[in-house]
Structure 1
Amino acid sequence: MTSPTPNIPPFTSLPLNPLDPYFSAWGLYGPHDQLGTLNRLSNDLVATSAKSEIRTGVRIGLDAPLNAQTRSGKAFFGRELFGQEMVLKEPRCVNDDVWRFNSQVSTQWDGLRHYGYQKERLFYGGVKPENIHGEGFDERRGKGPVGRTVTRDGESEVLGIHEMARQGIVGRAVLLDFHGWRLAQDPPTTPFDSFKSCSISLQTLLAVAEAQGTEIKFGDILFLRTGYTATLNEKNADELSALKDVHPPNFGGVEQSEEMVKWIWEHFSAVSGDQPSFECWPTQNPSLLLHEVLIAGWGMPVGELFDLENLAEHCKREGRWSFFLSSQVCNVTGGVASPPNALAIF
């Protein structure tokens, strides 16, 4: 079930500029925009969502541990594992610790610097790699692309995760528990493997929403439970190590289709799931990558590796799959991605 779409450009009008990459919406929120679809989370929408969704005060954390991938000694996509150094501040009875980690090695929001249109080599709003990495700036003017200041090392701040940190990712969220829905079929009739390039169709997601009785409203933040975490926990260290040696790795996720992109455009402010790649990976449709369209085309945060197990259990017990989300990304100037620091509040 879905609510009416408010006054946004129809999907058929994308790209808004015929010379821009496919399905892009550059300029919709102005030439210097840094927030993309998070602009949909207006003060009124957030306030209304808080009033309707916060009823019992139950809070559920959605972040997996930062060291979640250390069990097999390596991470998917070859990313650096989380490291922690404990420091006893002798002679005082005081501890510090030092963390070192890739911002995408555990639960994360992909920011707008993460993924660009690959063929055009352009990020959201037409920002080029050299605009981010410091080449081609007029240092005498001290300005980078879209009027953002240049830092002392010559790199710009454009599209940094700090822009999302100013107000966070906050509003009404919905969980589509595909994994629970699939297992409830007797026998299961929807094949899926979290560690194979399997697609979840739009028709399937709509069937999950209908079975849950979940209304999807404009501006919602989508969470998709594919069963990746549950499947991961069944594998031993050797099995995980072998899977992480596969390049490119294979993951189940949402299908790469025009109808899926249209549905996301018409409803959501951000999308996320429990799997390492929100979309099916490697893509089964090379001419359409969701990361390109969502992140680079619309400026939509994409969340991955969320721990949705406790959330799904609570939703099933309460018979309610909508909630209020509070997610405050790390305030790192020029950051690419961030742990979400996310709470579901009921």
Structure 2
Amino acid sequence: MSDYTGAAARRLSQIGNLLKSSQKAMALPWNPDSTEFPTRNELLKVDGAPEGAAWVWGKDDFIGRLNLLTPSRVLAASKEIRTGEIVPVNLPLNVPEVPAFEREAFQHEIKTLVENKAYDDKYSLNTQSGTQWDGFRHFSHLPTGSFYNNTKGDDIVGPNANLKCSIHHWAEHGIAGRGVLIDYLSYAKKKGIEYDPYDHYEISYEELEACGKDQGLDIRPAAKGGDIQIGDIVFIRTGFVEAYHQKPRDERNALAQRHSDLSAESGQRWAGLKQETAMLDWLHDCYFAAVAGDAPSFEAWPTQYGWYLHEYILALWGMPLGEMLDLEGLVQKCRERKRWTFFFSSAPANCPGGVSTHVNGHAIF
């Protein structure tokens, strides 16, 4: 009888957990295993947070949307592994040779321990000089100076500096899930759309949606009948890496050295996603665990609308933002396999107090 009672209790507990996880996440802190989440327009105001903030995982949360990478979602994503083929998405550490936004170039030195017997490496680098994840300490909500989950500048530098939103929190959690590639560059070429990835060019949500349809991919969230699942990691190919290798060395280096600021007249000019309401709704409501692209800025730079997607993605929503990923091999493999989804893993740097990190990422088919 006791065995029966114990089994019944366990079953009731399992049912309770299932019902709990199936509910729409509303009460704070949100349950990451929930199967339905509020749209951007349904977000409730969070006390002490800017308007539109989704600081919803608890006051001591510093991984944001990575909370969505639960064991059950990672396990489901592992079913994308069918052939075992690995596609790295990392540029060489010395690419770009001259980084944009006045960042330091990568330096590599060999240290001789014992001649002809043992050697070491010495690296000097800016973690955002190449293939990178923008961490939550990187870009604030500009009107309030607030970084994700009420982190401030004096939490990052100065006598009161601490580990709020440090990149090591990502490393301790890990990044692994289902990746989805949107190949806008190929779509643009097919449709006769001409632009230079080294100049300001805005990719609208409407264009992304049309691009997805051309690939046979409905980029709407599953809740609206689309193919995007909660916790997916989206990659958008806009053409920077291809353009980098096609442009003469002197030209691309000179373009990287253009003046940088946050004004609409900034000399740094890059193709990327458009700052618009439809784009905000899509990026938020899909509940991506992370977003990434091959461009130096992900969004069209500089903004012409007085605000940046970076503010929403990083500071208000806590969503990792990847830039300058090498998606050239990935798009080839997707075409070869006639599929645009895959398993993806990334190993952020375990640097207490760090701002950002190289991606160290692989797609696995």
Residue in 1 that maps onto 2:187: 181
Q: Distance in 1 between matches of 2:116 and 2:241?
A: 41
- 1:196 and 2:199 aligned: yes
Q: Distance in 2 between matches of 1:10 and 1:93?
A: 60
Residue in 2 that maps onto 1:213: 216
- 1:68 and 2:95 aligned: yes
Shift in Å, 1:24: 1.0
One-letter amino acid of the structure 1 residue matched with residue 317 of structure 2: W
Q: Residues 56-95 of structure 1: matches in 2 within 5 Å?
A: 56-70=83-97, 74-91=98-115, 93-95=117-119
8 Å contact 2:113–2:120 — kept in the other structure?
Answer: yes
Q: Residues 226-241 of structure 1: matches in 2 within 5 Å?
A: 226-241=238-253
Deviates more, 1:83-92 or 1:331-340: 83-92
8 Å contact 1:134–1:156 — kept in the other structure?
Answer: no
Q: Distance in 2 between matches of 1:166 and 1:255?
A: 33
SS at match of 1:68: coil
SS at match of 1:204: helix
- 1:8 and 2:48 aligned: no
Tell me the alpha carbon deviations over residues 8-44 of structure 1, each in whole angstroms, 9 at most, x when there is no partner: 1221134632763232112x11111111111111110
Tell me the alpha carbon deviations over residues 57-115 of structure 1, each in whole angstroms, 9 at most, x when there is no partner: 00000000111122xxx321110110011012125611111001000001001111111
User: Which of 283, 289, 304 pairs up with 1:284?
Assistant: 304
Residue in 2 that maps onto 1:17: 46
Moved over 3 A (4+): none
Deviates more, 1:311-320 or 1:239-248: 239-248
- 1:242 and 2:262 aligned: no
Residue in 2 that maps onto 1:334: 353
Q: Distance in 2 between matches of 1:234 and 1:127?
A: 41
Q: Residues 1-346 of structure 1: matches in 2 within 5 Å?
A: 6-14=35-43, 16-17=45-46, 20-26=49-55, 28-51=56-79, 53-70=80-97, 74-91=98-115, 93-135=117-159, 137=160, 155-185=161-191, 188=192, 190-214=193-217, 215-248=227-260, 249-267=268-286, 268-286=288-306, 288-346=307-365
Q: Scaled by the length of structure 1, what TM-score is found?
A: 0.88
Q: Distance in 1 between matches of 2:91 and 2:155?
A: 33
Shift in Å, 1:167: 2.5
Shift in Å, 1:344: 0.2
8 Å contact 1:15–1:22 — kept in the other structure?
Answer: no
Q: Distance in 1 between matches of 2:362 and 2:135?
A: 19
Percent identity between matched residues is 38
Shift in Å, 1:343: 0.4
Shift in Å, 1:300: 0.5
Change (3 A) 1:16 1:69: same
Q: Distance in 1 between matches of 2:273 and 2:35?
A: 24
SS at match of 1:78: coil
Q: Distance in 1 between matches of 2:257 and 2:214?
A: 38
SS at match of 1:300: coil
Tell me the alpha carbon deviations over residues 183-239 of structure 1, each in whole angstroms, 9 at most, x when there is no partner: 123xx0x34321111110101111111111123222110100001111111111210
Q: Distance in 1 between matches of 2:36 and 2:147?
A: 25
One-letter amino acid of the structure 2 residue matched with residue 278 of structure 1: F
Q: What is the RMSD computed on CA atoms of the aligned residues? A: 1.7
Shift in Å, 1:327: 0.5
Q: Distance in 2 between matches of 1:290 and 1:116?
A: 11
Deviates more, 1:170-179 or 1:214-223: 214-223
Q: Scaled by the length of structure 2, what TM-score is found?
A: 0.83
One-letter amino acid of the structure 2 residue matched with residue 9 of structure 1: P
Q: Distance in 2 between matches of 1:161 and 1:128?
A: 15
Q: Distance in 2 between matches of 1:209 and 1:336?
A: 33
One-letter amino acid of the structure 1 residue matched with residue 256 of structure 2: K
SS at match of 1:55: coil
Instruction: In structure 2, list runs of 5 or more residues that go unmatched.
Output: 1-23, 25-33, 218-226, 261-267
Q: How many residues align?
A: 316
Deviates more, 1:28-37 or 1:206-215: 206-215
SS at match of 1:166: helix
One-letter amino acid of the structure 2 residue matched with residue 59 of structure 1: I
Q: Distance in 2 between matches of 1:37 and 1:192?
A: 32
SS at match of 1:98: strand
